[in-house]
Structure 1
Amino acid sequence: MKKKLLGALLGITMAAGLLAGCSAPAKDSTGGAQSPSAKARTLSEIKESGTIKIGVFSDKNPFGYVDANGKIQGYDVYFAKRLAKDLLGSEDKVEFVYVEAASRVEYLKSAKVDVILANFTVTDERKEQVDFALPYMKVALGVVSPDDKLIKDAADLKDKTLIVVKGTTAETYFSQNHPEIKLLKFDEYQEAYDALLDGRGDAFSTDNTEVLAWALQNKGFTVGIESIGNTDTIAAAVQKGNTELLEWINEEIKTLGDEQFFHKDFEETLKPVYGDEIDPENLVVEGGQV
């Protein structure tokens, strides 16, 4: 009787193990879990729902951030609200979804958002995974560091630690072009800035527009390298193959160019931060034409 009971228990245990194995997440070629995939909503489905889901940053001032009153603000947010207004009749019809730099592609692939508007730099690698709309901004990388130990050239970072955010062009650029520089990587921008303030790294690199804004608001820090690497473009992105939505956004950008919309966006969201430090012509792209 004991043998039969033991056998039954063993059978149940093996079956449970098999079931657990069947439900384990699929692995990619590197052994990591694959990103889930889901079909994105079409333009018609978005209109029928009455809401468009747009992924933005919540901690990247002045492009996408939550202010002291708990409201989402910024250059990308201003644009997102206009998309909702022109598509659905009201800027209140946008549902903001907060994303991290490294999660932007995954949020599109898994259809958690319809559009990403999170300071998304266009790269060839990303083009293979998502579809980019026409650009609305241009940018290069910058490096901010303490005034008393100012980094003025990449060579100054030898034997030092550079802070970057995972999934950004800064991480890619320095990994590929300066492997001799030690990188300290974080998931979120606020974590990266906290690390710089705490002295856990010697400098921080991300888009020059952002580090310039941050340095203006944080005494004792200066952008010693205002431009490094290529000048890139920033664009909205949709799930690969979501052609109808992509074409609508492109036409919207062309139309907005006629009214100099992104210059107005600059005046409302960036000018109060930068003052005269940045010429809008060095950043703003109208009508998708660089």
Structure 2
Amino acid sequence: MERGKVRIGVNLSGLPFGTYKPGTQTPVGFAVDLAQDIGHKLGVETEVVPVVAANRAVFLQQGKVDLLIANMTVTPERAEQLDYVPTPYEQLGGALVAPRHSGITRWEDLKDKTVCISQRRFAVSPRFCWPCVATAVTRLSSTVQSCMNC
């Protein structure tokens, strides 16, 4: 690092991954610790740059950050513009909530059913996330709560 520091974009939306120390503007959390460790191993200062979903890829492409530690689904479109590590440090899966006696016990049971997905939780189409839902009718909702009324 010629400039003597690495700028790492970190999503500070909440613990345990990242947030601000109460009463300060000091970033804290697992992702912040990981960023600091990367800088330490590179032998340079670490600058933690707060990012959100709307700006994280843009910051990387514009050179405002050197790398990201943030939740981001790998999509074919993003893979054309960004590089990803081959093994993410943390991976989440989808969760299905259905009435107890609905008969839905696995993803394949959603065939030809209506599925409501909160846009706040999923940035990509459910067809990308769960190929077995390809025949489900999807409705997008702005919040988890409004999804309950689909």
TM-score normalised by L of structure 2: 0.67
Aligned to 1:106: 58
The structure having more radius of gyration, on CA atoms, is 1
Against the structure 1 CA distance between its residues 86 and 172, is the aligned structure 2 distance closer, same or farther, given a 3 Å change threshold?
same
CA distance in 2, matches of 1:145, 1:181: 14
Of the two structures, which has the highest relative contact order with CA contacts closer than 8 Å and spacing of 6 or more? 1
CA distance in 2, matches of 1:74, 1:147: 36
Aligned to 1:79: 34
CA distance in 1, matches of 2:40, 2:56: 23
Structure 1 spans left out of the alignment, 5+ residues: 1-42, 186-194, 204-290
Equivalent pairs, count: 140
Aligned to 1:58: 12
Do the aligned partners of 1:164 and 1:183 also contact (CA within 8 Å) in 2? Answer: yes
2:16 counterpart SS class: coil
Residue 123 of structure 1: CA displacement?
Answer: 4.1
Structure 2 spans left out of the alignment, 5+ residues: none
Against the structure 1 CA distance between its residues 145 and 133, is the aligned structure 2 distance closer, same or farther, given a 3 Å change threshold?
same
Against the structure 1 CA distance between its residues 108 and 56, is the aligned structure 2 distance closer, same or farther, given a 3 Å change threshold?
same
Deviations 1:152-193 (A, max 9, x none): 65529x445321337xxx4324154446121224xxxxxxxx
Deviations 1:229-283 (A, max 9, x none): xxxxxxxxxxxxxxxxxxxxxxxxxxxxxxxxxxxxxxxxxxxxxxxxxxxxxxx
Residue 81 of structure 1: CA displacement?
Answer: 0.7
172, 194, 201: which one aligns with 2:147: 201
1:62 counterpart SS class: coil
CA distance in 2, matches of 1:64, 1:140: 16
2:55 counterpart SS class: helix
Q: CA RMSD in A?
A: 3.7
Do the aligned partners of 2:8 and 2:67 also contact (CA within 8 Å) in 1? Answer: yes
